Amino acid sequence: MTVAASMVSEGGPAASPEAASSDTVGDYHGSRLAYDPRRDVLWNALWDFHFKHRIAPDDCVLDLGAGYANFINSVTARRRIAVDLWPGLAEHVAPGVEALVAPVTDLSALASGSVDFAFASNLFEHLPPDVCVATLSEIRRVLKPSGRLTLLQPNYRYAYREYFDDYTHVAVYSHVSLPDMLRAHGWEVDEVRPRFLPLSVKSRLPVRRALIGAYLRSPFKPLGKQMLVGARPLHKSR
């Protein structure tokens, strides 16, 4: 599985550095996060092998820090919403996907209790703690009583060597600290996968659908440095 792991690559670092000013970030998408078609292959496979079984066709799905919209474009659902501060978001969403250019702390364009499934990939490490808490508050507001939040993040426990190669990373989370933070702010954590995916698509090896499926099914996760955490707001019933 070592070769397969290298081919799977980045769990979708499509998120923009939401909390930083444009002067600080500069041309982030042109330097650190250039468009890479391999992410589309990855997310289409992740949809078929993982998320498809968790999202119903009639759901409303929210992608926070959507970046190139790789995740939300792969989703099949009644309503799909992508949120990012990056003005280029609208150029990358698929037909039928709503593009909301706004900070993740301001989801006022969405009605309370309107979202079934909220998702953020490689976002929270870009947010200072106070911004992260404000973001969680907004997610709580827009989720339905049965709503769910899923986070995909670099796991510092396993990715500490590369973690700060991204100059916009300002917060550190592991599969221990991220669930603890969620619980401390009123979330019930019901899923923790410390080694869900390898870290990066920046590999010379091809990203192949079959290898991604094999990696997800395997109990062994070589090079697994991205964690997946699922949670529900405690004050909402299932």
Domain coordinates of the chain in residue numbers?
A: 2-233
What average pLDDT is seen over the chain? Answer: 85
Q: What is the CATH number assigned to the segment(s) 2-233?
A: 3.40.50.150
Residue 61's pLDDT is 98
Label residue 117 by pLDDT band (50, 70, 90).
very high
Residues 6+ apart with CB under 8 A from 173: 124, 125, 153, 154, 155, 156, 181
Residue, of 31 and 148, whose pLDDT is higher: 148
SS3 68: coil
Q: What is the pTM of this model?
A: 0.85
Return d(Cα 55, Cα 59) in angstroms, integer: 7
- What pLDDT is stored for residue 207 in this prediction? 74
Q: Measured between alpha carbons, how far is 116 from 235 in angstroms, rounded to an integer? A: 15
Select the more confidently predicted residue: 18 or 199: 199
Query: What's residue 63's pLDDT?
Result: 98
Which residue did the predictor score with more confidence, 36 or 66?
A: 66
Neighbours of 51 (CB within 10 A): 18
- Residue 8 scores a pLDDT above 60: no
Pair of tokens at residue 25: 């970030």
Q: At what angle do helices 209-217 and 38-49 cross, to 10 degrees?
A: 40
Identify whether the C-beta of residue 24 lies closer than 8 Å to the C-beta of residue 82: no
